Amino acid sequence: YRDSAYHTWLACTHYLRGVRDVYNYLTVTDNRLLSVLPSSQFTTIPHRAPAPAPAMALAMKRAAATAVRAISSANSASILTRQLHASAEKKKIVGVFYKAHEYAEMNPNFLGCAENALGIRNWLESQGHEYIVTDDKEGPDCELEKHISDMHVLITTPFHPAYVTAERIKKAKNLQLLLTAGIGSDHVDLQAAAAAGLTVAEVTGSNVVSVAEDELMRILILVRNFLPGHHQVISGDWNVAGIAYRAYDLEGKTVGTVGCGRIGRLLLQRLKPFGCNLLYHDRIKMDQELENQIGAKFEEDLDKMLPKWYSGDVWYPQPAPKDHPWRYMPNQAMTPHISGTTIDAQLRYAAGVKDMLENYFKGEDFPAQHYIVKEGELASQYR
């Protein structure tokens, strides 16, 4: 493309020294941004350009200022601005977590609550970043709304999610990065995030074992009719018949999973020693070798897997209102959203968030499996 555009972009690259990779190339004419071109069409500009001569340096500085003004005024500039995050600029980071109150001090590894805030406050503030933490996330007057317009990073969890709607994204002019401390980013409008050029990432794998173990526990609780017996004990009752009439062994029963990703496979592996007939339904069939290893069969007809019992902990909205119909379903073992927030899981996803923030400050990529939205593209499982 035009030599003038090349020199303008080279000036910008030199002027913004923190930028290591060039993701978009600009065509600038008459101080107006005309287009943002995909990097696949051009060769990247090296991070360390040769030191310019004094006259060239002045020209480059002027060109950079021109380009920055053009970028700032262009409608499509938000995508470029949000991707060029590697700089010495101090960031405003907002974390939304559940309140622990008196429980916050009972375990030093209880990092997932608002009071302990993933254990990264001192680290962030020592580098000059601002770290705002709240559990107040709903409604136009909530604490989160006060910080949307100028925050650069939002960290939240699936257990007390900040719902990132298209409306909120539109108001978040400085927002660059949405991090989930844990797994699951369905609290984010991913299409709107992609259109705005935001990066969305989560700590993939951080709590899959925690959730798989939790689901195995719930299956046993339901099959053995455990909950009515426990309720009898704490209420002072004793009625064996009221429990035994619908208590069964797990061995020989058919157990199915709807979805067979990381968690589903771990659950099936843990069910195998119980001698169950294992089924799974997923949009992608496992290869035969893995099916044989796990001992599960693919079931194409989802209707054949409709449950007689239901256990789970993912609600909408969260926290669930007191009149939520799921609270009153028969034969269920619902709880608040706790399966993936064991202390072990908290340590893993807190460490994962810190690692990604370090990469973000350096302008480096995250591990590929952590991305949910990158450079306007959704991960395959969300398409």
In tens, the pLDDT along 333-372 reads 899 999 999 999 999 999 999 999 999 999 999 999 999 9
Beta-carbon contacts of residue 3 (< 8 Å; ≥ 6 apart)? none
Q: Are residues 216 and 128 in the same domain?
A: no
* pLDDT, mean of residues 296-311: 82
Whether residue 184 sits in one domain with residue 118? yes
The number of CA neighbours under 13 Å toward the Cβ of 362 is 9
How many C-beta atoms lie closer than 10 Å to residue 115's C-beta?
17
Q: What integer is the mean pLDDT of 262-289? A: 95
Please indicate, yes or no, whether residues 118 and 106 belong to a single structural domain of this protein. Answer: yes
Whether 50 maps to a domain, the answer reads: no
Tell me which of 283, 298, 327 is where a domain ends. 327
Q: In this structure, are 240 and 138 located in the same domain?
A: no
What region, left, alpha or beta, does residue 15 occupy, with left being phi > 0 and alpha being psi -120 to 50 degrees? alpha
* Residue in the block written with tokens 């009149």: 323
Residues 316 and 242 in one domain: yes
User: pLDDT at residue 71 above 70?
Assistant: no
Same domain as 211, residue 316: yes
Q: What is the CATH number of the domain that holds 200?
A: 3.40.50.720
Q: Are 295 and 272 in contact (CB under 8 A)?
A: yes
Location of structure tokens 């303008």:
8
Q: 7-16, 180-189, 215-224: which has the minimum mean pLDDT?
A: 7-16
User: Has residue 193 been placed in a domain?
Assistant: yes
- Identify the band that residue 3 occupies on the pLDDT scale cut at 50, 70 and 90: very low
The reported pTM is 0.75
Does 224 lie in the same domain as 185? no
Any domain includes 235: yes
Give the range of the structural domain holding residue 283, as residue numbers without chain letter: 207-327
In a shared domain, residues 148 and 187 = yes
One domain, residues 225 and 296: yes
* 55: in domain: no
Residues β-bridged to residue 111 = none
Token pair in block for residue 30? 């008459």
pLDDT-based confidence at residue 82 (cuts at 50, 70, 90): low
Residue 251 vs residues 103, 158, 212, 254, 298: alpha-carbon distances, Å: 38, 33, 18, 9, 20
State whether 164 and 151 are in the same domain.
Answer: yes
Check whether residue 117 and residue 222 sit in a common domain. no
Locate all alpha helices (DSSP H) within the chain, ordered by sequence. Answer: 3-15, 54-73, 77-83, 121-126, 143-147, 166-171, 190-195, 208-223, 226-235, 241-244, 262-271, 288-294, 343-362
pLDDT of residue 380: 82
14, part of any domain: no
* Phi-psi sector, 252: left (phi>0), alpha (psi -120 to 50), beta: left
pLDDT for residue 310: 72
Mean per-residue pLDDT over the chain, rounded: 82
Q: Indicate the pairing of strand 177-180 with strand 199-202.
A: parallel
- The total number of structural domains in the chain stands at 2
Same domain for 191 and 222?
no
